[in-house]
Structure 1
Amino acid sequence: MTGGFANYAELLALVHNSLVAGAVLGLVGGVVGVFVLSRDLAFAVHGISELSFAGAAAALLLSVNVAIGSIVGSLVAAVLIGVLGARGRDRSSIIGVLMPFGLGLGVLFLALYKGRASNKFGLLTGQIVAVDDPQLGWLVGTAVVVLAALVLVWRPLTFASIDPDVAAARGIPVRALSVVFTLALGLSVAMAVQVVGALLVLSLLITPAAAAARITASPVLMPVLSVLFAVVSSVGGILLALGGSIPISPYVTTISFVIYLVCRAIGVLQPRVSAPSTVSAS
């Protein structure tokens, strides 16, 4: 056996930053994903990722920090969606406009870029050894900002996500919270694009939370499970991709999808298991 898993220990030392980045992204993605589901913003994640991709591609073309370009693109999309898309119908149409625009810009910038093809491909599907020390610093700093913002608005944001009309009637600034969360979502998407690429961010920002929602409705347990599933998917994907020549994203998406299928099966079986005890209790 040559290459791949034969020299796995040596290769493992090369991806220390990527493993840390994967764990940080799993933590942020798992927490943010819970609110994405409750606020029905799955489509927004994909829309933001397209402009994040465009920003990263522009940064690559201009030879500046790709992380900064990705963050700028995500924040521009987040502001547009948060301010102009207060209502669900408006939000969907705005995202539908932003997605092809962002993708078109990104493709244009990559076509103009004359550097290595792997850099272009990595923006779409992720790169296993692409996380250097400065990029890791940006990722960790962004994660701290996102998590701090969510902690500060956790309770009112949860209320506004479950029943925005009642929350607004009780004086909670629903629109302001929407903008704050959309900005946090934009930063989270920018982080994900740098690790798994622009095409597959849903695997870390949606699938883990969707899996957790299949087996629990607890407001405490659901974020915990979502974070666990996201970290297992991201770090596990990196560890598996290290031994082969396939990009990281197929491994991440496969692990997260398998977790979702298992949780879905458990969710289907749970009522059947609990039914006898309910009957006997009555």
Structure 2
Amino acid sequence: MFSHPFMQHAFLAGTAVALAAGLVGYFLVLRAQVFTADALSHVAFTGALAALAAGLDARIGLFAVTIFVALGMGALGRRGRPDDVVIGGVFAWILGLGVFFLTLYTTTRSGSGNGSASVTVLFGSILGLSGSRAVVTAVIALVIGAVLLAIARPLLFASLDENVAAARGVPVRLLGFGFLVLVAGTAAESTQVVGALLILGLLAAPAGAAIRMTTRPLWALGLSAAIAVASVWIGLAAGYAIPKVPPSFAILAVAALTYLVTIAVGQLRHRRHVERRETDPANPQQPRIAALASSTALDEG
């Protein structure tokens, strides 16, 4: 598999992007801003189409428009943290612009009018990355990850209790804007790996699984990144082994399956814990539980 240059480029870019997505995604889930990432993924689609319609490189629109809109959403929100009304309004407006630029691009720039580049933006083209583009993608993703780790401590404080953090002198509003820029950059980068429509899965599913696996922030942060990277590796291997399986689908399938497994395991553990408490003779609540069970049985009889 690694004898093919396109697979080497895919693993290089995919690993770096997954690492950044896992780190950013943890704080997205922790700050309850997953809907923000969903909106920015559609902004990435619209920005790429706007650049293509203007005859420019799609990456210019990806990063410029996505970061600009992210900062605008932060300015409309409280302390750089947009609420659902702001996000929903931007979401609808950007989606409308996306339809406009898609029509403009397919009728004026795509030649045959089939808009194949728009499909690439929507669903990703990780196997079509050139060597130079893969290196640039990896460098940008690693920079995003490094910046996030640099602000992780105050960002964690502001995410858990922004009022107390602000009272302690933490620049909550500035951190909010900075985090939105990182989310926008990650969304723009992830478009090349899984596409604009599937970005949310790579950002949310690994982080959701990690938070269910541990309550320790640093452990959860590392697990989120590890799950995202493993999802990309397994997804790429599956896409190579089964040609009819798109890599973006395989990547998201692994991430979603991991999340579902953590939910199932968590529910099983909770059920066993409850059963153990109910059957434990040393449990002071045991007589009361038994009495209630007997009373319920008599009522049902």
TM-score using structure 1 length: 0.87
Greater alpha carbon shift after TM alignment, 204-213 vs 264-273: 264-273
The answer (yes or no) to whether the contact 1:59–1:66 under 8 Å persists in 2 is yes
Match of 1:168, as an amino acid? A
1:132 is aligned to 130
1:209 is aligned to 207
Match of 1:102, as an amino acid? I
Cα pair distance change 1:144/1:125, threshold 3 Å: same
Q: How far apart are 1:46 and its partner, in Å?
A: 0.8
Match of 1:22, as an amino acid? G
Q: Highest Rg: 1 or 2?
A: 2
- Unaligned residue ranges in structure 2 (runs of 5+): 284-301
- Unaligned residue ranges in structure 1 (runs of 5+): 1-7
Q: How far apart are 1:212 and its partner, in Å?
A: 0.9
1:191 is aligned to 189
Q: How far apart are 1:108 and its partner, in Å?
A: 2.4
The answer (yes or no) to whether the contact 1:67–1:138 under 8 Å persists in 2 is no
1:4 is aligned to none
| Inter-partner Cα distance in structure 2 for 1:140 and 1:28 | 10
Cα pair distance change 1:108/1:246, threshold 3 Å: farther
Greater alpha carbon shift after TM alignment, 210-219 vs 60-69: 60-69
Percent identity reads 36
Q: How far apart are 1:245 and its partner, in Å?
A: 3.4
The answer (yes or no) to whether the contact 1:160–1:172 under 8 Å persists in 2 is yes
- Helix, strand or coil: the match of 2:127? coil
Q: How far apart are 1:274 and its partner, in Å?
A: 6.1
1:162 is aligned to 160
- Structure 1 position 254 matched with structure 2 position 253: yes
- Structure 1 position 218 matched with structure 2 position 216: yes
2:67 is aligned to 75
The answer (yes or no) to whether the contact 1:79–1:183 under 8 Å persists in 2 is yes
The answer (yes or no) to whether the contact 1:55–1:70 under 8 Å persists in 2 is yes
Cα pair distance change 1:280/1:16, threshold 3 Å: farther
Which of the pair has the greater relative contact order for Cα pairs under 8 Å at 6+ separation? 1
Superposition pairs for residues 40-55 of structure 1, below 5 Å? 40-55=32-47
Cα pair distance change 1:68/1:271, threshold 3 Å: same
1:5 is aligned to none
Q: How far apart are 1:261 and its partner, in Å?
A: 0.9
- Structure 1 position 152 matched with structure 2 position 144: no
| Inter-partner Cα distance in structure 2 for 1:67 and 1:280 | 65
| Inter-partner Cα distance in structure 1 for 2:81 and 2:217 | 28
TM-score using structure 2 length: 0.82
The answer (yes or no) to whether the contact 2:13–2:138 under 8 Å persists in 1 is yes
Q: How far apart are 1:280 and its partner, in Å?
A: 9.8
Match of 1:98, as an amino acid? V
Query: What per-residue deviation string (whole Å, max 9, x for no partner) do you get for residues 121-166 of structure 1?
Result: 1111112423223422332232233123212211111100001111
Cα pair distance change 1:89/1:156, threshold 3 Å: closer
